[in-house]
């Protein structure tokens, strides 16, 4: 029996984010509660309960000072408003893709459109979406939508906005879209099905067509898990929905050559792995039952060879060795110094009589009927097996950087030396790699060569993946006016590029300063951390225009607030022209001293009296607020005249 596990089975981005936020809040030491179960999976909820995380049904059940986590499905608008008015810390774990639908529905109502939501009316996600518009309608099927669209009084030019539940079935959504297109001429359609959900459903459909048995793993209360089971049942006659490995019945799989495993978005990886392991055990039992008595007898008395990995049971722990029953004709023993690589560990600290252990065969003595074993050597071999698995599965691991050299970095991971080439460190060419020494980094194992005892890793691969995820989150939440804290990545003559957390936006030179600047370098430099806001964005072409200067920093407004006509102020001559001189009153604000206001006698040109950079005292004689012009006078001070 071959077992096939779906590539898209298990946690989606939104669920993974929600679970991570709860874990982070729980580990911070705060009193944490979730508004409803964080996801539809009792195992995950139970694990959080063991960490002290409560589940509450209403906002008023939260205690003052508590941290309240909004679950991945989101909550109705009025619930968010109630929480914001309470003495609690709110952590919003709403899936970014669900939050986008909230904004779409809200915008539709503002445009005078009727938001039509395709999904289950009783589902928390749909209830939350519907709350963002007083006029929203919810239909659970194409038939319900068609019945409403054809009802008397429903005009074909009715302005409609069509969205759907993120976990809705793609085929049914397509039917709804066709119905809406035929019925309404003033229609906006937003395909809001989560792509991960779509991929998972398509994969489940393909697997169920080629497998004799399908196993769907997840909570029966989960909408997306139930839909997966329904999709599989349309194509496969033997489908079982289980919460974990304990729900598997060996008889259900009898005679099947191919079994598929898929899982809902709320199913953690460890449960999928448990189901897979249980399936493998069932397969092994079925295979063993087919073996003849002679084969089993042969296996029980087989001869061991040096280098074998075998399993035995500890029968005695002595002062110099541990005796192990291997179920073979040889008597197995482990010298005490072969139990652990840690010299401070005593055999009785980690082993007891009756323990089943896996060991490495060091030497076989058929004449004496003994077999020398080692647990220490096998533990060392297992690390390499684990490294191979980590490499094949592209698992993200942590390592401590112990060394930097010309070629790259060296990290220690579970006692194994991992080399990270300079090109894979994530440090720019010519940068200081030694700054990472002593730090714990996230990396991926890219190559394992056991014979040469060489392991290669990459920090850059993980960073790139995390940056892509961060970019998707930004694009799912971006809106005009939204503020970000970013880092200046590069400077160009026309502006500065700023990393706002996975995506680069451009601050045009005209948006860097209210005053005149020659280049962006006059205001910022590479590496600066600055606060910016979104002026506009092009989601299709992935371009963002950012602003840096704010109305509060407008020097003209600061001038009007500080000075008025008649004030005497210090100024610096900035530029001489034929008709007068421009003087800077404050950074970004210049006034004109007309040639007639420079001296009390007639002069040929301003340069006869003034020079650029000269400090002067002037009187403000006129302010044109509409055209941002200021008239100044030196002559008025010398003559004591009253100017206007």
Q: Annotated active-site positions, please?
A: 125
**Gap between the Cα atoms of 295 and 630, Å rounded:** 104
**Gap between the Cα atoms of 80 and 57, Å rounded:** 13
**Gap between the Cα atoms of 89 and 560, Å rounded:** 41
**Gap between the Cα atoms of 214 and 279, Å rounded:** 12
Q: Which long-range contacts (CB under 8 A, 24 or more apart) does 510-514 make?
A: 511/535, 511/546, 511/547, 511/548, 511/549, 512/548, 512/549, 513/549, 513/588, 514/549, 514/553, 514/554, 514/555, 514/556, 514/588
Q: Where are the alpha helices (DSSP H) in 308-444?
A: 347-350, 375-393
**Gap between the Cα atoms of 346 and 360, Å rounded:** 19
Q: Which of 465, 475, 395 is nearest to 426 (CA)?
A: 465
**Gap between the Cα atoms of 150 and 453, Å rounded:** 72
The residues pairing with 172 across neighbouring beta strands, listed in sequence order, are: none
Task: Count other C-beta atoms under 10 Å from residue 276's C-beta.
Answer: 19
User: Whose structure tokens read 């952590």?
Assistant: 91
642 near 625, Cβ under 8 Å?
Answer: no
User: Whose structure tokens read 């503002």?
Assistant: 110
């Amino acid at each position: 029996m071959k077992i096939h596990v779906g590539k898209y089975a298990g946690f989606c981005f939104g669920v993974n984010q929600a679970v991570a936020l709860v874990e982070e809040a729980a580990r911070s030491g705060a009193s944490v509660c979730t508004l409803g179960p964080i996801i539809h999976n009792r195992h995950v909820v139970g694990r959080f309960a063991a960490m002290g995380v409560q589940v509450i049904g209403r906002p008023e059940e939260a205690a003052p000072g508590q941290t309240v986590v909004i679950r991945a499905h989101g909550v109705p608008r009025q619930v968010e408003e109630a929480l914001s008015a309470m003495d609690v810390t709110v952590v919003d774990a709403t899936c970014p893709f669900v939050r986008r639908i909230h904004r779409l529905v809200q915008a539709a109502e503002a445009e005078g459109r009727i938001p039509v939501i395709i999904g289950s009316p009783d589902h928390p996600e749909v209830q939350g979406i519907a709350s963002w518009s007083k006029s929203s309608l919810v239909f659970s099927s194409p038939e319900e939508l068609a019945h409403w669209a054809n009802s008397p009084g429903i005009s074909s030019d009715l302005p409609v906005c069509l969205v759907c539940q993120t976990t809705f079935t793609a085929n049914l959504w397509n039917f709804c879209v066709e119905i809406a297109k035929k019925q309404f001429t003033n229609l906006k359609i937003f395909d809001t099905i989560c792509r991960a959900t779509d991929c998972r459903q398509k994969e489940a459909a393909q697997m169920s067509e080629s497998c004799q048995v399908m196993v769907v793993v997840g909570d029966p209360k989960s909408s997306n898990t139930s839909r997966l089971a329904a999709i599989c049942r349309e194509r496969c006659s033997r489908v079982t929905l289980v919460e974990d490995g304990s729900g598997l019945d060996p008889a259900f799989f009898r005679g099947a050559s191919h079994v598929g495993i898929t899982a809902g978005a709320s199913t953690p990886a460890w449960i999928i792995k448990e189901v897979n392991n249980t399936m493998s055990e069932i397969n092994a039992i079925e295979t063993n039952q087919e073996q003849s008595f002679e084969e089993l007898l042969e296996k029980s008395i087989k001869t061991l060879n040096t280098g074998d990995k075998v399993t035995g049971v500890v029968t005695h722990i002595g002062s110099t060795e541990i005796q192990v029953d291997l179920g073979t004709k040889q008597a197995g023993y482990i010298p005490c110094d072969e139990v652990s690589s840690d010299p401070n560990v005593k055999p009785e600290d980690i082993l007891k009589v009756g323990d089943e252990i896996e060991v490495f065969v060091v030497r076989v003595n058929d004449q004496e009927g003994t077999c020398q074993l080692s647990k220490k050597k096998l533990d060392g071999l297992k690390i390499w097996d684990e490294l191979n698995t980590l490499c094949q599965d592209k698992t993200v691991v942590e390592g401590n950087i112990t060394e930097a050299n010309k070629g790259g970095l060296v990290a220690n991971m579970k006692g194994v030396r991992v080399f990270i080439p300079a090109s894979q460190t994530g440090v720019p060419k010519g940068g200081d790699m030694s700054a990472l020494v002593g730090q714990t980094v996230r990396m991926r194992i890219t190559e394992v060569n056991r014979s040469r005892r060489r392991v290669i890793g990459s920090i850059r691969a993980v960073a790139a993946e995390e940056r892509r995820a961060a970019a998707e989150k930004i694009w799912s939440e971006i809106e005009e006016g939204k503020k970000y804290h970013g880092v200046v990545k590069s400077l160009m003559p026309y502006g500065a590029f700023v990393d706002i957390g996975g995506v680069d936006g451009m601050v045009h030179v005209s948006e860097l300063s209210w005053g005149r600047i020659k280049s962006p370098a006059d205001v910022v430099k590479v590496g600066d951390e600055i606060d910016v806001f979104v002026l506009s964005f092009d989601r299709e072409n992935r371009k963002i225009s950012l602003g840096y200067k704010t109305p509060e920093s407008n020097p003209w407004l600061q001038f009007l607030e500080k000075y008025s006509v008649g004030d005497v102020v210090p100024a610096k001559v900035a530029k001489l022209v034929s008709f007068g001189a421009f003087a800077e009153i404050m950074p970004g604000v210049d006034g004109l001293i007309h040639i007639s206001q420079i001296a009390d006698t007639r002069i040929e040109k301003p340069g006869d009296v003034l020079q650029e950079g000269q400090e002067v005292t002037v009187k403000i004689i006129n302010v044109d607020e509409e055209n941002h012009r200021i008239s100044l006078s030196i002559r008025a001070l010398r003559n004591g005249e009253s100017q206007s």
